[in-house]
A and B are shown apart, each in its own frame.
Chain A
Amino acid sequence: MQSFFKILLVPFLLLFLPIEEEVEIKCLLEIMDYRGEGAYFVISVLDKEENYIKTVYVLGDDKSWFSELKYFWIHLRENNLFSDEDFYPLIDGISGPTISGGERRVFQIKVPKNLLNNSFHLRFETAVEDKAYYINDINIALNTESLKQTHIGQGFIKKLQFVALE
């Protein structure tokens, strides 16, 4: 019950901030050289208790494959965000095509400034049909320190690099 309350509370608090200042972060993603379908990604900000706070970017735009991203899909279902009318606006403007083995991609994410350096996490959830699903392909603290480093993924991600633009 308590965690449920928090899910409601955090976006609620965010609404009341005067103007939501955002940090723009440029990411370079490199993918392992695997064979198969394109990888689906969801990049989200989580709080300490692993509750989804904000979806910042997704790779893949066909909703039917998002069920492969199991935890994210549970989050969508619990919050009634999985119907077409809710889902597509949710990823509007923050989505790109799936990424295949051996490819690299540069994209930019926006994170509300107040989430930075505030014990939130940035999680890269990845899935490839018939291959694997990684709930924490990359899961890092959302702070200035870790945004300067290069990260190695647990699954499909080979390497992740950031440049904070501000």
Chain B
Amino acid sequence: MMKVLWRKIHFLLALGSALFLFLASVSGFILGIEALLDQTKPQAIDSLEDISLKKTLEVLNLNIKEVFEISITEKNYVIVQGISEDGFERFYVDPKTGLKISSVTPTSPFFNLARSLHRSLFFKNTGRIIVGIIAFLLILLSITGLILLTRRIGGIKQFFFLTKEKNIYRKGHIILGKWFFIPVLLIGFSGAYLTIDRFNAFTHQKSIIKTYAKGEKILDLNTIRLKDVVRVSYPYSKAEHDVFIIELKDRLFTVRQGDFRTLSEEVYPLHHLLKQWNYYIHTGESDVFVALIVSLTALALVFFMFTGFKITSKTSLDFLILNNNIKEASVVILYGSETGNSYQFAKRLAKTLRKENHSVGLTSLNNYGIFPKAKSILILTATYGDGEAPSNADLFEKIFISSKQLHTINFSILGFGSKSYPKFCQFAITLQSLLEKQDNFLSLMPLFKINNQSEIDYCSWVSMVINKLK
């Protein structure tokens, strides 16, 4: 019954994180769009790997009055803090020409709000912890989801084939699962990592600091590509103790002004790089392609939740409410329900039988398994389309063959349908002959069919069942 277990875990995870996950997905989508928009701005430089730091320092020297600091953001913006023709300010520059593009303006309050919601739900550290847990649950959701998915479609190989599924919500859930399993896993992982990092889990890792003697090492700025640069702080004055500080993604140099002799080098620990990598993956700020993927994934999560709740709504909560010690039950009621009618009748039947002091278990046909204490099995099922199984009964025939009950079982099948269809109660008929073929299954009475949910017919079947069970 591993499948039922996985399904329960998957469902409980989804239920527990639903509200927060929804907020995180919606805000995440907004931020993904922001990242996409930011990459279309003129200050987003797409060829940072082709430009050397030396070249940039030279052109800035020619064109900018005074530079205090150059910083290169995750969004591939090159920002100069210094004095332009408009006085002291922060402004974007083109690192190839050294010309000012525009002044830095504050981020829009709307996106700040979305960011704050996404990171902490406006609850500062408490919120950050919740969001971190949600990210962790997202990892578990994608893993349990993958397990369910491979079982549902019958193996990993089936991933690349079209899925036969009638129910549009199920189909949507499966297709999204195939496409977005990896992005969801990565977003969950990177989100959880960033939260853990935020709480300084890795501070025990220290940088390695090397100092160099005079003339030992000259930093060749030609070999440094702008894409590796985070920040260059210029010397404050011409005094010798004032130095260049050149911070790269993985290390930091202090360099003497004039001859660029390296004074010291600080090599950052591994977690520093991991954080950058996770930030890159999670935000998509540096790359249009990643931004597009994360935006779509955020949107997909909303659809996952929608389709997920659509397919679970009626029956999944039952194991929480009824439960339904199915392993202990002497009478097991199985239902196959497409629109929920058969399920409603099955619930009523369970209630009635409990009043008659039977220990009753209730579950869908797809959750069939070995019921160790069962003496009787009652099946209530509708038929879908052209004599096929309803969606929560489509795996029954396969499972039924593979799980043999421990002792003899009395069974009765109640078929629901409408005589206006040519294949009236066809699936119930299929089941009746399937069960009759088994040696240890004894039919309590012939297959009983109900046309258009006839109340009278149902009641007469129930009274017959009660008599037989006595």
Contacts and interface: CB of A to CB of B under 8 A. Distances in A.
B86 to A, nearest CB: 9
Contacts of B124: 129-130
Contact of A105 (B81, B89, B107): B81
Given A96-B81, A130-B124, A106 B106 contact: no
Interface stretch (B229-237, B307-315, B442-450): B229-237
Interface in B51-107: 68-69, 81, 83, 88-90, 106-107
Interface string A8-47: 0000000000000000100010000001100000000000
B31 to A, nearest CB: 14
Contact of B69 (A84, A105, A163): A105
Contact of A107 (B81, B112, B113, B234): B81
Contacts of B203: 35
Contact of B112 (A62, A91, A106): A62
B167 interface: no
Given A24-B88, A28-B236, A62 B107 contact: yes
A91 B104 CA distance: 13
Contacts of B234: 106
B245 interface: yes
A163 B125 CA distance: 39
Contact of A106 (B69, B89, B107, B113): B69
A104 B233 contact: yes
Contact of A93 (B69, B89, B125): B89
B81 A106 contact: yes
Nearest to A87: B109
A93 B88 CA distance: 9
A95 B236 contact: no
A131 B205 CA distance: 21
Nearest to B116: A64
A61 B116 contact: no
A130 B236 contact: no
Interface in A76-107: 84, 88, 91, 93, 95-96, 104-107
A152 B90 CA distance: 26
A104 B125 CA distance: 26
B125 A88 contact: no
B200 interface: yes
B270 to A, nearest CB: 17
Contacts of B81: 96, 105-107
Interface string B402-413: 000000000000
Interface residues of A, number: 24
Contacts of B116: 62, 64
A134 to B, nearest CB: 19
Nearest to A36: B200
A107 B109 contact: no
Contact of B236 (A93, A106, A129): A106
B403 to A, nearest CB: 55
Given A130-B124, A130-B125, A161-B236, A108 B106 contact: no
Contact of A84 (B109, B125, B237): B109
A91 B106 CA distance: 10
Given A96-B90, A107-B68, A163 B237 contact: yes
Interface in B232-253: 233-234, 236-237, 245
A163 B88 CA distance: 14
A104 B83 CA distance: 18
A63 interface: yes
Contacts of A108: 83, 88
A61 B113 CA distance: 12
Contacts of B106: 61-62, 88, 91, 95
Contacts of A163: 236-237
Nearest to B83: A108
A35 B200 contact: yes
A61 B108 CA distance: 10
Contacts of A130: 124-125
B109 A63 contact: yes
A81 to B, nearest CB: 15
Contacts of A95: 106
A55 to B, nearest CB: 15
Interface string A45-65: 000000000000000011110
A93 B105 CA distance: 8
A90 to B, nearest CB: 12
10 contacts: A24-B88, A36-B200, A62-B107, A62-B109, A88-B106, A93-B89, A96-B90, A104-B233, A106-B234, A108-B88
Given A64-B113, A64-B116, 15 more contacts: A24-B88, A61-B106, A63-B109, A88-B106, A88-B109, A93-B89, A96-B90, A104-B245, A105-B69, A105-B233, A106-B233, A107-B81, A130-B124, A161-B236, A163-B237
What 9 A-B pairs have minimum CB-CB distances, sorted nearest first?
Answer: A106-B68, A108-B88, A61-B106, A28-B236, A62-B112, A35-B200, A84-B109, A96-B90, A106-B236
